[in-house]
Chains A and B, each alone.
Chain A
């Protein structure tokens, strides 16, 4: 078979075999547009500039940081494959103005821009081959992807945190193919999860009763309505979305929250406790009240340790997902006038206080009892596209025909490719095995169980085409492309529309890819970009794990913890859904608060638990964008104080894309204030001591000013004017490029002085996440191209995402090593 080679400006040479029409399209698409700047020729000036500012340290003799620019070929930048990686390092350092180091003579802004543009253009143009890299051939689904795949395949929400272990991460994300390994423990959990899930999806009328426990965070303040899923006028409690496995009876048992020594709270008054299912009242229970009634008869025994002994409700519920809510009726209006002391929920005073209103500690849900049937659930509707006729012979032709239809559809979605005869035969064998011991549905359940442990379900596979030339790039197959798209934007399996397009080989037809990206971003499943991409890029997932010092931040309750995380999710979701410019991440004056967060931020007139958009203006403008969000400020702090270093490092890595090198060995950590009698010192004072050490100064001069600019936010993101040490906050500093900053707003402005720098970082992070591999130096031309093209579209989210979907590393793959 003949090789076909194409030479274009952006992708100078692609050689492959077969599929010329498709490839021609791809190359046209890949070649569209071009470097923004003309190929300016001023290598003489560049050579002089780099020699003047860089080679003093980066030469063959001193070899600072292991880098020498002595002897590189300035005349043919990018043409020597061995020098490209070095040039990309140079570009990154110059683009982010990280070099020359602060305090050394540096080029003018115009010179910086000129040399970076010319180097980039030269490399992009001179690249001898497009190097798409090689995504690993096998990529295990991570825990979030597994959960979403189950949701999309079986219309079933499962808590995979209980079913599967957490995944290792690399490059800041937990979907990196090479890092996701397989162990016997994980495999056992896969087998167990497959059985539980298939049983829940199909429904098992012989299911024995079991217990689920739902716990209320002990630091949740239950003095008002705590969730949008609870009724107005409710107080405290919890609402859980739970999939009831079969039609039948279930029992919910309620345990009240207790003081540290095990006593119940607030029993002097009578409290009503409601159990609701899908919003409808199931039963009202009561706890507490006067010991004696008006006539002096004993109304209740003193049961301060046992009032919740028999608080349970039995109810009948149809199988499927329902919202179960347990909450108190808010009696604030009834009991108005009683003013109780305010205790922070993390305080010792609160831990022992019995006068507060009672709260819910946890609920246990037991069942099913008196099972009446499998019921009609979304999962069963998703699975059983047909039924064998009544009276069909067990495992007979009619049943097999229906099983074949069901398993064919499930298998195609689960394996993300058309099934072959062997696949179906294998699944039918398991249908028969299950049918032997049960009915038709039990057969389907058994086959489903088999689907869920198949390597085709658990692993994304990318296969080299027959006879792929070693190391040569080729277009990935359409089904693989469909999976790349769906795992990127949905963290899940492709839907039927994507699979149909892939079956027809139509994904790369003109406009199709763009239309699909648009459709997918508008789909609710794109929320995974917030949860998984945003959750990791912005360290949002750490919100569940941070533990601010309860002595220093006694009012950091679970309500605030949840509210901060929710704010960031809503903020990011709005940015992506409204297709804003990614630059707005740093400047947007819109955010979302509920009463708890509004109080924390000092925003007045926000009442209730519901989140609503607010405009950050006037005194609130420092809160604009990511840098003023409580969650980011909290996860980049220590438990007991802020850390300008941690915040600065986070910004360097995740906003500027220029992570600092790790600290040298044997550097003492920052001295903490202690009870030694010395007056406490601010972090700034202590860091200044630290920076007297020249081994530290180089990096800290870059990192610290970024963090200091946020010092007006304390370790849980409150605005403050005094430091932990009681000294006035000094947020002033000078960034590496000499820009003075004195607070969050001037910092955001400084970070956006060269917007393409921030956009490049976002693109690299998205590309890492989208490809499931680290972004390497040879991806730099593709990243630059995404950024350049998105510039014309105001750096909108859709432009960046579509640019990545069109990019060389996303569309192509390098053949196996020879």
Chain B
């Protein structure tokens, strides 16, 4: 792996990835790298989750017609070039996102934390947070085993704003969508440089010899750490071992990664420019840089599961570059005033535009017998439909990608009332080869998607 630490500003990096990377990778690099050539005739589908917060203007999201003959409305229009790979699913709801009797506010927190778990989070500010295992992690536990990273969790917003979490709820519930298990939320990374280093390392000399030496050092450290952490753990009362168990699990996870890295150490990577700066100024620039990195991660088969929270619930982000100085969350409580609804719809579309950029990149990236998009199973949506009233029914949900031949797009599907979102997610897990019995409040797979 040759990763030069060249000094390139962000724009050059973006161009650089497009130009220097695409060619050599297309040129047989990906098959060499990816395990798919050696495993099955059928390429492995990759699972992708994209999330936007605070609800959307549903009128501008939901196509008027159902079935195959529909027109993507204003908000979704940027996806029109890929319409045959897009399925709009209307009518899903999530019962666990609604408040329990007397629980009060927390609709945003529950929308985020139940989105992939289908589990009503426990209302608490700290010590005893409890959600559910998220569907991306269920997938990662299986299809992530052949890749260096079982999954990648990314975000754009900083999670450092104080006082921005709903009263009575731990910020952990809003900071991530991904839960390794009911007590371990997985943090999401928002710094492009950190993502790059996580994928491709942070060393300067990336010759095979140097990489193997590095692997040996890392292995010695991890070996002795496992022993030390284990004995550290035994000095603690069983009830106190939670954090240390997390550490031990994480170390084992990294050991697994190093084993794979060693197996793949003969593989040469093209020259890549490392993103050097911090976080780009605007939402769109930041989003696209992160999408470029996700494309890289998929192209190089570093991971097959990505969860990307494009913005977090209750986000107060303003979009002055779009002429929207109002904070997003405030705007979502539009009280059905046309001016505010129009701004919110513009913002919803802006998010979709960035997502469509990524879909476009996937579509133009060859992978096995087709494009990466053909092998993606992408879920995009929000745990709130009408942000003004915090509704968790008729959720805005999109599916994109061919899931390696198991998903047919170009449809607008409307499901029966009260169909759990998790039923769709069970189907998606099935489509990426991880059949699962139950996810949170699921009652069975969604039959609408079983026709492929």
Given contacts A192-B202, A671-B335, A672-B340, contact A545 B161 (CB under 8 A): yes
Q: Are A191 and B126 in contact (CB under 8 A)?
A: no
Q: A698 CB to closest chain B CB, in angstroms?
A: 14
Would A665 and B390 be within 8 Å (CB), given that A170-B126, A171-B125, A187-B254 are in contact?
yes
Q: Which residue of A lies closest to B106 (CB)?
A: A662
Q: How far is the CA of A255 from the CA of B7 in the complex (A)?
A: 12
Q: How far is the CB of B163 from chain A (nearest CB, A)?
A: 6
0/1 interface trace, chain A 586-621, chain B, CB 8 Å (1 if under): 000000000000000000000000000000000000
Q: Who on chain A is nearest to B184 by CB?
A: A181
Contacts known (A166-B159, A183-B184); A213 close to B277, Cβ less than 8 A: yes
Asked whether any CB of chain B lies closer than 8 Å to the CB of A525, the reply is no
Whole-angstrom distance between the alpha carbons of A668 and B333 in the complex?
7
Name the A residues within 8 Å of B102 (CB-CB).
66
Contact of B159 with A168 in the complex, beta carbons under 8 Å: yes
Q: Are B325 and A182 in contact (CB under 8 A)?
A: no
* Complex contact B318–A547 (CB within 8 A): yes
A207, B316: Cα distance in complex, Å = 43
* 547-594 of chain A: CB within 8 A of chain B: 547, 549-552
Kindly supply a per-residue 1/0 record for chain B positions 1-45, scoring 1 wherever the CB is within 8 Å of any chain A CB and 0 otherwise. Answer: 000011101000000000000000000000000000000000000
Asked if A168 and B189 sit within 8 Å, CB to CB, the answer is no
Task: Give CA–CA (A196, B202) in the complex, Å.
Answer: 9
Within 8 A of A (CB), among B140-190: 150, 153, 158-163, 166-168, 170-172, 175, 180, 184-187, 189
Chain A residues positioned under 8 Å from B7 (CB to CB): 211, 213, 253, 364, 366
Q: Assess whether B335 is in contact with A180, with CB atoms less than 8 Å apart.
A: no
List chain B residues, Cβ under 8 A from A459: 232, 243-244, 247
Contact B318–A187 (Cβ < 8 Å): no
Report Cα–Cα, A669/B278, bound state, in Å: 35
- Check: B213 CB closer than 8 A to any chain A CB: yes
**Interface-lining segment among A44-52, A134-142, A794-802:** A134-142
Of all chain A residues, which has the CB nearest B128? A178
- Are A773 and B158 CB-contacts (below 8 A) given A162-B194, A213-B7, A213-B277? no
B69 at the interface (CB under 8 A from A): no
Q: A774 to B126, alpha carbons, bound, how many Å?
A: 8
Question: 1/0 contact trace for B182-216 toward A, CB 8 Å?
Answer: 00111101010110011000101100000001000
B250 close to A (CB within 8 Å): yes
* Closest chain A CB from B61 CB (angstroms): 21
Given contacts A179-B170, A210-B204, contact A638 B327 (CB under 8 A): yes
Residue of B nearest to A551 (CB): B325
Check A209/B5 contact, CB under 8 A, given A138-B244, A186-B250, A550-B320.
yes
Measured CA separation A595–B228 after assembly (Å): 55
Task: Tell me, in angstroms, the Cα distance from A458 to B160 when the chains sit together.
Answer: 21
User: Which residue on chain B has the smallest CB distance to residue A654?
Assistant: B163
Q: Does B225 contact A (CB under 8 A)?
A: yes
Q: Does A64 contact B (CB under 8 A)?
A: no
* Binary A-proximity of B313-339 (CB < 8 A = 1, otherwise 0): 000111010000111001001010111
Which residues of chain B in 367-418 are interfacial with respect to chain A, using CB atoms and an 8 Å cutoff? 388-390
**Pair B246/A183 contact, Cβ less than 8 Å:** yes
What string of 1s and 0s marks CB contacts (under 8 Å) between A535-549 and chain B? 010010110010101
B335–A437 touching, CB < 8 Å:
no
Interface check A471, CB cutoff 8 A: no
Q: Say whether, besides A138-B240, A191-B221, A215-B277, A185 and B187 are in contact (CB < 8 Å).
A: yes
Partner of A183, one of B180, B204, B228: B180
What chain A residues lie within 8 Å of B326 (beta carbons)?
Answer: 549, 639-640, 672
Say yes or no: is A71 at the interface (Cβ < 8 Å to chain B). Answer: no
Instruction: Check B249 for interface membership: any CB of A closer than 8 A.
Output: yes
Instruction: Report how far A542 CA is from B160 CA in the complex, Å.
Output: 8
Question: When the two chains form their complex, are residues A437 and B5 in contact, meaning their CB atoms are under 8 A apart?
Answer: no
Contacting residues, chain A, for B160 (C-beta < 8 A):
166, 541, 545
Which of B171, B187, B330, B390 makes the CB contact (< 8 A) with A666? Answer: B390
Q: Which residues of A contact B437 (CB under 8 A)?
A: none
Closest approach, in angstroms, between the C-beta of B389 and any C-beta of chain A? 6
Which of the residues A172, A253, A662, A674 comes within 8 Å of B337, measured between beta carbons? A674
Interchain CB contact under 8 A, A816 and B163 = no
A185 pairs with B240, CB closer than 8 A: no
Query: What does the 1/0 interface line of B243-273 toward A look like (CB < 8 Å)?
Result: 1101101110110000000000000000000
- Docked Cα-Cα span, A183 to B159, in Å, equals 16
Whether the pair A215, B278 counts as a contact (CB closer than 8 A) is yes
Query: What 1/0 mask marks residues of chain A from 650 to 683 whose CB sits below 8 Å from any chain B CB?
Result: 1000000001011111101101101110000000
Of A138, A430, A459, A671, which is in contact with the most chain B CB atoms at under 10 Å from its CB? A138
Interface centre among A169, A453, A542, A659 (most CB of B within 10 A): A169
Known A208-B5, A539-B163, A639-B326: A187·B168 in contact at CB below 8 Å = no
Cβ-defined contact, B240 with A816, below 8 A: yes
Contacting residues of chain A (112-152) with chain B, CB-CB under 8 angstroms: 136-138, 140
Q: Bound state CA distance, A551 and B319, in angstroms? A: 12
Chain B residues whose C-beta falls within 8 Å of the C-beta of A181 in the assembled complex: 172, 184-185, 243, 246
Q: Closest CB of chain B to A555's CB: distance in Å?
A: 15
Contacts of A385 in B (CB 8 A): none
Tell whether A29 is near chain B: CB-to-CB under 8 Å.
no
CA–CA, A777 and B355, complex, Å? 48
Contact between chains at B228 and A189 (CB < 8 Å): no
Does any Cβ of A come within 8 Å of B229's Cβ? yes
Of chain A, the residue at the smallest CB distance from B198 is: A188
Are B224 and A429 interface neighbours, CB within 8 A? Answer: yes
A208 and B187 alpha carbons, distance in the complex (Å): 31
How many Å from the CB of B259 to the closest CB on chain A? Answer: 14
* Contact across chains for A168 and B171 when beta carbons are under 8 A apart: yes
- Nearest Cβ in chain A — how far from B142, in angstroms? 16
Q: Which residue of B lies closest to A456 (CB)?
A: B232
List, in ascending order, chain A residues with CB within 8 A of B237's CB.
137, 464, 816
Known A547-B318, A639-B325: A189·B194 in contact at CB below 8 Å: yes
Which residues from chain B contact A640 at a C-beta distance below 8 Å? 325-326
Residues in B with CB closer than 8 Å to A816 are 237, 239-240
Which of the listed residues B105, B160, B172 has the most CB atoms from chain A within 10 Å of its own CB?
B160
- What is the minimal beta-carbon distance from B38 to any residue of chain A, in angstroms? 25
Give bound CA distance, A459 to B240, whole Å: 13
Closest chain A residue to B191, Cβ basis: A162
How far does the alpha carbon of A654 sit from the alpha carbon of B339 in the complex, in Å? Answer: 35
From B150, B187, B197, contact of A165 by CB (8 A): B187
Contact B125 A170 (CB under 8 A): yes
- Report if A511 contacts B (CB, 8 A): no
Counting chain A CB atoms within 10 Å of each CB, which of B126, B167, B194 scores highest?
B126
Closest A residue to B157 by beta carbon equals: A545
Q: Is the CB of A211 within 8 A of B162?
A: no
Q: List 20 A-B contacts (CB under 8 A).
A: A170-B127, A170-B170, A182-B247, A185-B198, A187-B247, A187-B254, A213-B9, A213-B277, A253-B7, A455-B228, A547-B320, A640-B326, A662-B104, A664-B104, A665-B390, A666-B390, A669-B335, A672-B326, A674-B337, A774-B127
Residues of A in contact with B (beta carbons under 8 Å apart): 66, 136-138, 140, 162, 165-166, 168-172, 176, 178-189, 191-192, 195-196, 207-213, 215, 218, 253, 255, 362, 364, 366, 426, 429-430, 433, 437, 446, 449-450, 453-456, 458-459, 461, 463-464, 536, 539, 541-542, 545, 547, 549-552, 638-640, 650, 659, 661-666, 668-669, 671-672, 674-676, 773-774, 816-817
Top 9 A-B pairs, shortest CB-CB distance: A170-B126, A669-B333, A208-B204, A137-B240, A549-B325, A187-B250, A178-B127, A211-B7, A182-B246
Name 5 extra pairs, CB < 8 A, besides A187-B254, A547-B320: A140-B243, A162-B191, A181-B184, A437-B213, A668-B388
Interface residues of B (CB under 8 A from A): 5-7, 9, 99, 102, 104-107, 125-129, 150, 153, 158-163, 166-168, 170-172, 175, 180, 184-187, 189, 191, 193-194, 197-198, 202, 204-205, 213, 217-218, 220-221, 224-225, 228-229, 232, 235-237, 239-244, 246-247, 249-251, 253-254, 276-278, 281, 316-318, 320, 325-327, 330, 333, 335, 337-340, 388-390
